[in-house]
Amino acid sequence: MSRPVLEIDHVAKRFAAKTVLSDVSLTIDKPEIFGLLGPSGAGKTTLVKMIVGMERPTEGSIHVLGVKVPNLKLMTDIGYMAQSDALYGELTAEENLKFFAQLYGLSGKRLKENAERVLELVGLQDDAKKPVQKFSGGMKRRLSLAIALIHRPKFLILDEPTVGIDPLLRKKLWDTFGELKDNGVTLIVTSHVMDEAERCDRLGLIRDGRLLACGTPAELKRATQTTTMEEAFLVYGGMGDAR
Amino acid sequence: MRVKALTERIIRQFLWDKRTMALLFLAPLLVLTLVSLIFNGDAYRPSIGLVDVPSPIQAALEKSDAHLKTLSAAKANDELKDQKLDAVLKFEQGRPELTLEGSDPTSNRAVLEAFTNLGGGGQAAGVKPVIHYLHGGKSLNNFDNFGPVLLGIFVFFFVFLISGVSFLRERTNGTLERVLASPLRRGELVTGYFIGFGIFTIIQSALIAAYSVYVLDLWMAGSFWYVLLITLVLAFVALSLGMLLSTFANNELQMFQFIPLVIVPQVFFSGLFKLETISDWVSWISYVTPLYYGADALRGVMIRGEGWSGIWGDVGVLALFALVFIALNVLTLRKYRKL
């Protein structure tokens, strides 16, 4: 466990003339739940896409599990849940799962076992044979999570996983995230819901493409002399505005 | 007031969608121009080769509007086979024999017309040649001539549209991005699409071809397998072009807008209408439209019974089109994943 799980080294990303991220550095040493917090348009999704390997940093470098991204082989170890549900509406939940599982090289008995395990994990075992277009928003979100987990990735990136999910299910999902972490999975979760932040081991606050602060929820609150994450974030945001 | 709100909203939407507006106004002009170019062309003038034809008859034929060419028997046969001539007139032991290329009813009619007008008196009167057909025959009708082209058009049109729309959906639903977050290679993605669509294309063309030949009695001189091969390659061109153009469409409506721009001109230049009668300055367009090569090969097999030696050139050009489009597809997928 000498090499860090994730190492982001002075990364910047520009699209044409527009700078989306600038000088972001971040290290995750051991499995944990790392929350990326920030308003929409702050650059969270861009950062996440670079970690997955879909975008290349303009400057700096990113290493996941010791391998420099983008790397095709590494993608087998990464689970990714995109911000929008990327599902085939005509296919059933099971067929969707099977398709993505095969992309990650699963087949036969292992595929079947994994599919059953993740469907149960997200509570969709009874809806496996239903076409996805009949699913509610929350069910689709859960299926997307199941797909992200199907190949037992060591590194899980969840882009706004709990948008449109009711509080009860949200709590259940976060319990699941905790179990995954206990099993040695590193999770990066983006969110703009502050109460979720409390459940992360560490947090990174992003705004206008900059990583403003990084630390445990308690540390961040102490540093800003606030009692809630929301207030803490406002303090960091305010500092950004003042400059 | 509420009606006004609705009207205003529709106008605003149009103003934002410049492409739809351009198409609404300009596409009909383009299509009409093509129609006028094709149907305002000259009447078709057949080319007739003459082998040992007595001069009085030649003189009489010169009064018709046919192009005449005097040449040796061997050369005449070659040019007839290559479709450079529509017919050859020769004299065997004093008896006139007319051999028609035969694969196009329009040319056949034009040739025969030149001979019916021959009876204008003099020595040429009463010349009634024995008529042979190299391909086809007297019973070859317009449907036999259009049929193979239509087969090509249908395959191209449906595959283009369906593949374009389904790939567009992958883009807009986010599934394309999600799929590319897996270890899948871009080349594998394109290949998978080809095999998946290939299966349905084979079934589709087999069904259309079998129905036309066995139920509608379409002329079929060649091998069914060559027809399937040609339609499959043609479908691959349509598939890769559909995928490629879906990059430039933001929604299904914009995908449909490619029909008047991409499909309709191809139909006009596919050989459905005689290209010789189209003005020279636009007839070159047919050489850059894939459908032209597909239609030419299909006609070769179905009407003239050509085998591999007759169609490999067309199939090769189609394969080249497909390869170029595939390469462009793999390149444009870089937009979604830089690896």
Among B173, B183, B185, select the one facing A86 at the smallest CB separation: B173
Of A217-221, B118-122, B192-196, the range with the lowest mean pLDDT is B118-122
Query: Mind listing the pLDDT tens digit for each residue in B125-136?
Result: 556 788 888 887
> Cα-atom radius of gyration of chain B, to the nearest Å?
25
What single-letter DSSP state applies at residue A108?
H
Q: What is the pLDDT of residues A171-206, one digit of tens each?
A: 888 998 999 999 999 999 998 777 788 889 999 988
Instruction: Using CB atoms, pick whichever of A54, A78, A85 lies closest to residue B336.
Output: A54
Closest CA to A80 of A28, A144, A2: A144
**Between chain A and chain B, how many beta carbons pairs sit less than 8 Å apart?**
57
Cβ contacts (< 8 Å) between A101 and chain B: which residues?
Answer: none
Specify the pLDDT at position B129: 80
Chain A residues lying within 8 Å of B173, measured CB to CB? 84, 86-89
CB within 8 Å: A71 and B177: no
Taking residue B25's Cβ as centre, other Cβ atoms within 10 Å add up to: 9
Per-residue b or e along B308-329, where b marks 16 or more CB atoms closer than 10 Å to that residue's CB: eebbeebbebbeebbeebbeeb
3-state SS string for B295-333 = HHHHHHHHCCCCCHHHHHHHHHHHHHHHHHHHHHHHHHH
User: Is residue A119 assigned to a domain?
Assistant: yes
A103: domain range? 76-242
Q: Chain A: give the shortest CA distance to residue B326, in Å.
A: 21
Using one digit for the tens of pLDDT, what is the confidence trace for A160-174?
Answer: 888 877 888 888 889
Write the CB contacts of B310 (distance below 8 Å, at least 6 apart in sequence): B297, B300, B301, B304
Residues of B in contact with A53 (CB under 8 A): 181, 337, 339
Among the partner-chain residues A53, A72, A82, the one whose CB lies closest to the CB of B185 is A72
ipTM of the complex: 0.86
Can you tell me which residue has the tokens 């972001």?
Answer: A24
Looking at the 3D structure of chain A, how many domains does it have?
1
Residue A176 lies in a domain: yes
In chain A, residues with a C-beta closer than 8 Å to the C-beta of B179 are 86, 100, 103
SS (H, E, C) A36-88: EECCCCCCHHHHHHHHHCCCCCCEEEEEECCEECCCCHHHHHEEEECCCCCCC
List, as one string, the DSSP characters of B30-73: HHHHHHHHHHSSPPP--EEEEES--HHHHHHHHTSS-EEEE--H
Q: Going by C-beta distance under 8 Å and a sequence separation of 6 or more, which residues neighbour residue B204? A: B155, B158, B159, B235
| CATH tag for B47-133 (out of 3.30.70.80, 3.40.640.10, 3.40.190.10, 3.30.365.10) | 3.40.190.10
3-class DSSP state of A157? strand
Alpha-carbon gap, residue A146 to A158, rounded angstroms? 11
Q: Provide CB contacts within 8 A for B135, sequence distance 6+.
A: B101, B102, B103, B221, B303, B304, B305
Q: Is A117 among the domain residues? A: yes
A residues 114-173 lying closer than 8 A (beta carbon) to B: 147
Does residue A24 lie in a domain region? no
Give the CATH number for residue A179: 3.40.50.300
Q: How many CB atoms lie within 10 A of CB B114?
A: 23
Nearest Cα to Cα of residue B151 among B262, B232, B222: B232
Residue in A73, A88, A147 closest to B183 by CB? A73
pLDDT at B316 (0 to 100): 95
**Beta-carbon contacts of residue A78 (< 8 Å; ≥ 6 apart):** A51, A52, A53, A64, A153, A154, A155, A156, A157, B181
Are residues B182 and A71, on separate chains, in Cβ contact within 8 Å? no
Q: What percent of chain B has a predicted confidence (pLDDT) above 90?
A: 18
- B209-237: pLDDT as tens digits: 888 888 888 888 888 899 999 999 999 99
- DSSP three-state, residue A220: helix
Chain B residues with at least one Cβ partner in A under 8 Å: 173-175, 177-185, 336-339
Cβ neighbours, 10 Å, residue B68: 16
- Check whether B277 has a pLDDT greater than 80: no
Q: Is the pLDDT of residue B187 over 70?
A: yes
| E runs forming strands in B189-273 | none
Residues of A in contact with B182 (CB under 8 A): 75, 100, 103-104
Say if residue B56's pLDDT is above 90: no
The greatest distance separating any two alpha carbons of chain A, rounded to the nearest whole angstrom, comes to 58
Nearest CB to A88 within list B175, B336, B337: B175
Q: Strand pairing partners for B47?
A: B67
Chain B positions in Cβ-Cβ contact with residue A105 (cut-off 8 Å): 183
Name the nearest CA neighbour of B266 among B154, B142, B104, B143: B154
**Bond preceding residue B148 cis, omega within 30 of 0:** no
Q: What is the pLDDT of residue B126?
A: 58
In a domain, A177, yes or no: yes
Residue A38: closest CA among A160, A212, A189, A192: A192
Residue extents of the structural domains in chain B = 47-133, 142-335
Dihedral (CA of B6, B8, B13, B18) sign: positive
Q: Do B182 and A54 touch (CB under 8 A)?
A: no
Whether A41 is in a domain gets the answer: no
**Chain B: nearest CA to A147, how far in angstroms?**
10
